[in-house]
């Protein structure tokens, strides 16, 4: 189920504007800031264009892989080698974790039930909106997530819909590996691998993602997610998908799935502006 099913006429990059959208005044923005990021990574994959299009609302159009410049080297190699895959649509599932974050003007830290980190994430599909510009309309975020119900409440007060997820990072018994797991409704994403003790590479390369959406009350939001990490490393291991809802089906149907690399250090910002 997408935001379309959870909040009628509302969704990151996807909701239809209401008839009152032209009357919505310009107002202050909203932001998430994750302080001292300890983990950030994405699962990159491809979606059949018909299936990807079903996640969009009226007026939005998918962007096929051959026309997307910002592909990882692995996806780029697959798309270049196979003309059929060049017509598929890039997608990503991303998570950012930190010991504390702000949402709007409020500061949040995790409680015992949540684990050690505040976590936010999203499912994004390469798409554009009518009249949009290539610089801003790169990703349609079909779902936006947090593991903190208070962050959800604070964010939805700004007319930005969010779902609550469950997250864990636990040692695998009798091994040096860890299991990273996120439950998004009926989808469970898990990765078993060497989380610590691997070679790390210092990095100063900034990471940025531009998105748009029409929120409640017809508010037009532009979103810039930016992060200048200090370190990166690969995440070799086994990535699994369990479940039967739209996200699970999309990931299982992909001819390629790549989890990582991991980035950390510094602060990550998600700026929502009207």
Distance CA 211, CA 266 (A): 22
Contacts 24+ apart (CB under 8 A), 74-81: 74/44, 74/256, 74/258, 75/44, 75/46, 75/256, 75/258, 78/46, 78/255, 78/256, 79/46
pLDDT of 20 reads 32
- 190-245 pLDDT tens trace: 999 887 655 788 888 888 888 777 777 777 777 889 999 999 998 888 999 999 99
Measure the CA–CA gap between 224 and 209, rounded to whole angstroms.
Answer: 6
- Which whole number is the average pLDDT over 9-27? 33
In angstroms, the Cα distances linking 247 to 44, 49, 147, 228, 250 are 13, 15, 18, 28, 5
Q: Kindly indicate the confidence band of residue 134, based on its pLDDT and cuts at 50, 70 and 90.
A: low
Alpha-carbon distance values, 31 to 3, 77, 106, 193, 216 (Å):
20, 35, 10, 33, 17
Q: What does the domain layout of the chain look like in residue ranges?
A: 3-17+28-273
Enclosing H/E stretch for 5: helix 3-6
Q: What pLDDT score was predicted for residue 198?
A: 58
Q: Quote the pTM value.
A: 0.84
CA–CA dist 66, 226 (Å, integer): 25
- What pLDDT score was predicted for residue 170? 86
DSSP type of residue 18: P
As a whole number, mean pLDDT of residues 60-72 equals: 86
**Contact 113/149 with Cβ under 8 angstroms?**
no
Distance CA 244, CA 235 (A): 26
Task: Let me know: does 196 contact 172? Beta carbons within 8 Å.
Answer: no
CB burial string 13-51: b at 16+ within 10 A, e below:
bbbbbbeeeeebeeeeebbbbbeebebbbbbbbbbbbeb
Mean of pLDDT values over 89-118 = 92
* Domain boundaries 3-17+28-273, CATH class: mainly beta
């Amino acid at each position: 189920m997408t935001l379309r099913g959870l909040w009628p006429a509302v969704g990151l990059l996807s909701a239809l504007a209401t008839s009152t959208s032209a009357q919505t005044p310009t107002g202050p923005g909203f932001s998430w800031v994750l302080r001292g990021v300890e983990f950030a990574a994405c699962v990159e994959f491809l979606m059949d264009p018909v299936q990807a299009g079903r996640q969009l609302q009226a007026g939005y159009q998918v962007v096929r892989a051959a026309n997307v410049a910002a592909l990882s080297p692995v996806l780029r190699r697959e798309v270049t080698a196979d003309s059929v895959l060049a017509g598929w649509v890039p997608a990503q599932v991303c998570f950012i974790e930190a010991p504390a974050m702000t949402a709007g003007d409020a500061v949040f830290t995790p409680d015992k039930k949540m684990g050690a980190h505040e976590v936010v994430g999203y499912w994004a599909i390469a798409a554009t909106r009518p009249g949009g510009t290539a610089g801003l309309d790169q990703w349609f975020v079909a779902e936006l997530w947090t593991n903190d119900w208070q962050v959800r409440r604070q964010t939805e007060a700004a007319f930005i819909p969010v779902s609550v997820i469950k997250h864990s990072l636990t040692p695998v018994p009798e091994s040096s590996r860890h299991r990273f797991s996120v439950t998004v409704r009926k989808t469970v994403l898990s990765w078993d691998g060497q989380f610590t003790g691997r070679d790390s590479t210092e990095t100063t390369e900034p990471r940025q993602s531009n998105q748009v959406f029409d929120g409640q009350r017809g508010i037009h939001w532009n979103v810039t997610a930016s992060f200048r990490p200090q370190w990166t490393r690969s995440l070799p291991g086994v990535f699994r998908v369990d479940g039967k809802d739209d996200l699970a089906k999309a990931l299982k149907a992909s001819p390629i799935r790549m989890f990582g690399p991991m980035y950390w250090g510094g602060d990550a910002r998600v700026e929502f502006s009207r």
